[in-house]
């Protein structure tokens, strides 16, 4: 039985004040979440604040990205050991905004994935197709290519301690959600790809759905057999909305 996981990706939003309010509200409401493991990924500069606020709770935290380099002259980058220093549990790698706006290749994403695991944190590997790729029937090819880059570098065993997030790019921040069946089909495909190498690992890995998840559609999405929770952008910025989604897990 896979435990549901819901992770908030705050992206480049918030301030010390708004984040403090959000954290207080989450702490007050988290008792109403029964089964689901919950995490939040703030911008790097707020990790200290978040780690202090959530330290004594069962809410985990993580980062939205990381450098593949260990340390050195890489202006503006943040290393795995720095994230460990702030007790991050999770690190998102390969978010579609990083892939498209910052031209991160499949190979670079795979290197980041491996670096996060070497640092004993859990990578949340994002995969997903563009609208034109879906329309031309390429969804499975794209997702397979993105997965294969990580499998080739890190191997199947790496997925024992990893999370995958399927996020169709056309559904991110657009208000357009994949239908539960559309999402389920891709989730099942991802699990099948891993099962070619190892059934037990394929069965165990949590696969989250991301892309315009809201309180109103979370229950239906999370009830699908291969959807184990969500990676939540916009709706994770309001405690009420986010906690409603967490309770749907």
Q: Using CB under 6 A as the criterion, which residues of the chain lie in contact with ligand PGA when the complex forms?
A: 9, 167, 172-173, 210-213, 231-235
Q: Which position's Cβ is nearest ligand PGA?
A: 233
Minimum separation from the CB atom of position 146 to ligand PGA (A): 15
Alpha-carbon distance of 129 to 96, in angstroms, equals 9
Contacts of 171 (CB under 8 A, 6+ apart): 177, 178, 210, 211, 212
Q: Which CB atom, from 122 or from 213, has the smaller least distance to ligand PGA?
A: 213
Alpha-carbon distance of 164 to 155, in angstroms, equals 15
Q: Which CB atom, from 67 or from 212, has the smaller least distance to ligand PGA?
A: 212
Minimum separation from the CB atom of position 235 to ligand PGA (A): 6
Contacts of 128 (CB under 8 A, 6+ apart): 96, 142, 143, 146, 166, 167, 168, 169, 172, 210, 211
Which of the following is catalytic: 97, 133, 167, 187?
167
Q: Which CB atom, from 98 or from 201, has the smaller least distance to ligand PGA?
A: 98
Q: Which CB atom, from 10 or from 46, has the smaller least distance to ligand PGA?
A: 10
Crossing angle of the two packed helices 139-154 and 180-195, in degrees rounded to 10: 40
Q: Are 8 and 242 in contact (CB under 8 A)?
A: yes
Question: Catalytic site residue 187?
Answer: no
Q: Which residue has the tokens 């994949």?
A: 178
CB atoms within 10 A of CB 119: 18
Which of the following is catalytic: 34, 95, 103, 140?
95
Question: Catalytic site residue 103?
Answer: no
- Residues identified as active-site: 95, 167
């Amino acid at each position: 039985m896979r435990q549901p996981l819901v992770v908030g990706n705050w992206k480049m939003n918030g301030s010390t004040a708004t984040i403090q309010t959000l954290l207080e509200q989450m702490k007050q409401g988290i008792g109403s979440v029964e089964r689901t493991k919950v995490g939040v990924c703030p911008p790097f500069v707020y990790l200290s604040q978040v780690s202090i606020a959530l330290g004594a709770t069962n809410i985990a935290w993580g980062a939205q990205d990381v450098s593949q380099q260990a340390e050195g002259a890489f202006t503006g980058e943040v290393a795995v050991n720095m994230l460990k220093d702030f007790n991050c549990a999770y690190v998102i790698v390969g978010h579609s905004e990083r892939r498209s706006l910052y031209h991160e290749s499949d190979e670079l994403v795979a290197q980041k994935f491996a670096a996060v695991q070497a640092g004993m944190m859990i990578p949340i590997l994002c995969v997903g197709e563009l609208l034109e790729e879906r329309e031309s029937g390429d969804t499975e090819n794209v997702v397979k290519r993105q997965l294969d880059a990580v499998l080739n570098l890190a191997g199947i065993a790496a997925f024992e301690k990893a999370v995958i997030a399927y996020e169709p790019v056309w559904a991110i921040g657009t208000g357009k959600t994949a239908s539960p069946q559309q999402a389920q089909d891709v989730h099942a495909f991802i699990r099948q790809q891993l099962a070619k190498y190892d059934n037990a690992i394929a069965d165990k890995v949590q696969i989250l759905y991301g892309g315009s998840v809201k309180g109103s559609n979370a229950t239906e999405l999370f009830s699908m057999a291969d959807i184990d929770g969500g990676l939540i952008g916009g709706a994770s910025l309001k405690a009420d909305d986010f906690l409603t989604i967490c309770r749907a897990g």
